[in-house]
Chain A
């Protein structure tokens, strides 16, 4: 199994508070991703990173920011959480794209914004 861990695994917070989710990998994979998963929707990409300090937006990036200061860590921050950000968040890693783009997922972080 790929070494990828997320923290926290569960969090309940109030609207308007900042939240940071952490993804840590021990595989030295170049690419890291943050997805959210909601009922009736496929996995939706929030942000991704293709190297240290190299990040880009996904399809649902509004209200989220990311940082990658080390190869192994990718942080997702909600500056001011809203109820629409209640979701399950998955971090994923891959060696490359295309035929080397197999994703390995973390266990998920369930976030509830009240």
Chain B
């Protein structure tokens, strides 16, 4: 079967750096998305990776290793507004999106 694994919860301190991991086992790979979802709201797009390496977008970066079936989202200079769930999703060989269950990020002052 296909699976994506993410930690259910991560805690970090305001101003610090945090890494949220996603490992996947899917039939084929055609890209990986990260979305942010605040409580009670809809998911919103953060990043898309299809090649190995690090993509940087301001305070947020996303890394991909296709050979290891692994990605992480790196958030720098954490702010309280970054408290949210972070969802990873992989596009498989049939161009279907497979979703992880999400990681809840808790930020402490």
Q: A residues engaging B (CB < 8 A)? A: 40-45, 90, 97-99, 101-108
Contact = CB atoms under 8 A, between A and B. Distances in A.
B91 A101 contact: yes
Contacts of B48: 99, 102
Given A97-B95, A105-B44, A107-B41, A40 B101 contact: yes
Q: Which of B50, B97, B98 has the most CB of A within 10 A?
A: B97
Contacts, number: 50
A1 to B, nearest CB: 9
B43 A105 contact: yes
What interface size band does chain B fall in? 20 to 34
Contacts of B42: 90, 105-108
What are the 5 tightest A-B residue pairs by CB atom distance, in nearest-first order? A42-B99, A105-B42, A97-B95, A43-B99, A42-B101
Interface string B14-48: 00000000000000001101010000011111001
Most buried by A among B33, B35, B42, B91: B42
Interface of B: 4, 30-31, 33, 35, 41-45, 48, 50, 87, 89, 91, 95-102
B33 A42 contact: no
Contacts of B91: 97-98, 101
Given A45-B97, A99-B50, A102-B48, 8 more contacts: A42-B4, A42-B100, A42-B102, A43-B43, A43-B89, A98-B30, A105-B43, A105-B44
B102 A102 contact: no
Nearest to B45: A102
Contacts of A104: 45
6 contacts: A40-B101, A41-B101, A97-B91, A105-B42, A105-B44, A106-B42
